């Protein structure tokens, strides 16, 4: 199964993908997470991506498509792949279609997480993450300890560099101008499953319903 999580920054793509991958034994391909690992490793790719990410802009299609193509070839041991944060513009969507066609695969469902702007701003301004085990915290919904030491692995809990107010607004603008039009692209193919904002468990329940209906 090939599943796309679609939605603005802070809509919960990563949160839901973590749960869905465990329940459905799927490979979770987060382009944002893959890029952050490259930046942390100071690889050539990471150095090329860093400035765009910190400015809230899209990284070049060439870099991102390379990362996703590698992931699409990882099939052994998994019952599918979750694309979280890809595609993010029409060119990426068309390249994905071509790559899938070459290997006789197809997108099964596009889950569109729908959250209003005010809630997005709160979620992203409050998000914190363990830099070691990547556990997600949120000062409003699931606060980290006062000393910011992750109880799971002892590493530091930090704020993502692109989660400052100005960059959040820039990311939202990029989403509206470049990514949102994809919703129509996938709706015209009958693949969109819209899910309205709610608590994490309820959204997970709705995601499972959408996936189960796409599998039938």
| Under rule CB under 6 A, residue 144 binds ligand AP5 | no
| Under rule CB under 6 A, residue 31 binds ligand AP5 | yes
Sequence-distant (6+) residues with CB within 8 A of 125 are 163, 165, 168
90 or 214: whose CB is closer to ligand AP5? 90
Secondary structure class of 163 (helix, strand, coil): coil
| Under rule CB under 6 A, residue 112 binds ligand AP5 | no
14 or 46: whose CB is closer to ligand AP5? 14
Least spacing, CB of residue 216 vs ligand AP5, in Å: 26
Least spacing, CB of residue 13 vs ligand AP5, in Å: 4
Alpha-carbon dihedral of residues 28, 88, 65, 33, nearest 10 degrees?
Answer: -40
174 or 211: whose CB is closer to ligand AP5? 174
Cβ–Cβ < 8 Å for 112, 195: yes
Query: Cis peptide before 87, with omega less than 30 degrees from 0?
Result: yes
Of 26, 58, 109, 182, which one interacts with ligand AP5 (CB under 6 A)? 58
- What is the edge-to-edge ordering of all strands in the sheet holding 136-138? 136-138, 127-130, 157-158
Cβ–Cβ < 8 Å for 81, 3: yes
Binding site for ligand AP5 (CB under 6 A): 7, 9-15, 31-32, 35, 52-53, 56-59, 64, 85-86, 88, 92, 123-124, 127, 136, 138, 141, 162, 171, 199-200, 203
């Amino acid at each position: 199964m090939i599943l796309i999580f679609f939605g603005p920054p802070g809509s919960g793509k990563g949160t839901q993908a973590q749960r869905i991958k465990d329940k459905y034994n799927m490979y979770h391909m987060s382009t944002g997470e893959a890029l952050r690992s490259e930046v942390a490793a100071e690889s050539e790719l990471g150095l090329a991506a860093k400035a765009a990410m910190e400015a809230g802009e899209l990284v070049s299609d060439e870099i991102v498509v390379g990362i996703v193509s590698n992931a699409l070839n990882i099939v052994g041991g998994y019952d599918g792949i979750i694309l979280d944060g890809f595609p993010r513009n029409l060119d990426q969507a068309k390249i994905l279609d071509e790559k899938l066609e070459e290997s006789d695969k197809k997108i099964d469902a596009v889950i569109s997480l729908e959250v209003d702007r005010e809630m997005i701003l709160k979620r992203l301004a409050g998000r914190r993450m363990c830099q070691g085990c990547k556990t997600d915290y949120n000062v409003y919904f699931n606060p980290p300890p006062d000393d910011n030491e992750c109880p799971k692995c002892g590493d530091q809990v930090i704020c993502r560099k692109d989660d400052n107010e100005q960059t959040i607004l820039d990311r939202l603008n990029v989403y509206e101008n470049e990514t949102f039009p994809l919703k129509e692209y996938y709706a015209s193919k009958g693949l969109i499953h819209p899910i309205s904002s709610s608590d994490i468990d309820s959204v997970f329940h709705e995601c499972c319903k959408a996936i189960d209906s796409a599998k039938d």
